[in-house]
Amino acid sequence: MKILATLDRPAPAPRVQEVRKWVWPYDGSYPIMLLSPPTPEHLFALPGRGDVVLSLNADVFPLDLLERTAERWKGKPVLCEHWDMGRHEDHIRENYVGYIESAISAPGGKILGVLRVVDLYWRARLLRIRLEGKLGEIGLSINGAVRVLESNGFHLVTGFESYDSVDITDRPAAGGHFLPI
């Protein structure tokens, strides 16, 4: 009998790699975009501030701020309900999907990450949605308190006060979504 691959050393054959990509979500990990300009026009240079990302709810995020703070989303809870500040612990427990396993800054004002799903219902639901080819339609929204300067209806984010959660939503203002696998 010839052994082509083991669990700790998969075979380099393209078909095996294709199968590995297929089974990756079975462990509950999903690549995600935590923040991204909704369109290329939402990434531009702001005089005196450098390159910025404009979200759909008129928040302006300087790229240097996103690059410095991207990793702080690591370990934050992912909840199945978009919420306002002031939730209690029971609400968080009832809506807990998983956590952000890793988060990094990427070129173009993006924050990429990996979501680890621990709730069994959500693990099965996301796997079904992925198999239907609709995973990219699920939005994600970062949720935290920010310091802002307000002018003409726009909010220039000057810093994050807290990194509270990442919420699953159908209307992500800052372009967060699941990445297709």
pLDDT digits (tens, 9 = 90+) for 75-111: 999 998 765 544 556 556 678 899 999 999 999 899 9
In a domain, 32, yes or no: no
Between 26 and 153, residue with greater pLDDT: 153
pLDDT at 166: 92
Query: Taking Cα atoms as reference points, which of 31, 45, 35 lies closest to residue 109?
Result: 35
**SS3 for 113?**
strand
Residues of the chain by 3-state class (helix, strand, coil), percent to 5: 25, 40, 35
How buried is residue 96: exposed, middle or buried, by Cβ count under 10 Å (0-12/13-18/19+)?
Answer: middle
Does residue 117 fall inside a structural domain?
Answer: yes
User: Between residues 139 and 171, which one has the greater pLDDT?
Assistant: 139
Percent of the residues in the chain that have a pLDDT greater than 90, as a whole number: 36
What is the count of structural domains for the chain? 1
What per-residue confidence (pLDDT) applies to 7? 46
Q: What values do phi and psi take at 8, rounded to 5?
A: -90, -5
Report how far apart, in Å, the C-alpha atoms of 95 and of each of 11, 82, 167, 174 are: 39, 10, 10, 21
Range of the domain at 153: 38-178
pLDDT at 22: 41
Q: Report the pLDDT value the prediction gives residue 75, as an integer from 0 to 100.
A: 94
Residue 149 forms part of a structural domain: yes
Q: Is residue 145 part of a domain?
A: yes
Range 14-30 average pLDDT: 53
**170 part of a folded domain:** yes
pLDDT higher than 80, residue 20: no
Q: How confident is the model at residue 8 (pLDDT cuts 50, 70, 90)?
A: very low
Assess if residue 92 is contained within a domain: yes
Work out the pLDDT band at 158, boundaries 50, 70, 90. very high
CA atoms within 13 A on the CB side of 119: 17
Mean pLDDT of 50-69: 91
Distance CA 98, CA 80 (A): 9
Beta-bridge partners for 168: 140
Residue 13 has pLDDT above 50, yes or no: no
79 occurs within a structural domain: yes
Whether the predicted pLDDT of 179 surpasses 90: no
**What local confidence, expressed as pLDDT, does residue 10 receive?**
47
In a domain, 64, yes or no: yes
What number of other Cβ atoms are within 10 A of residue 68's Cβ? 13
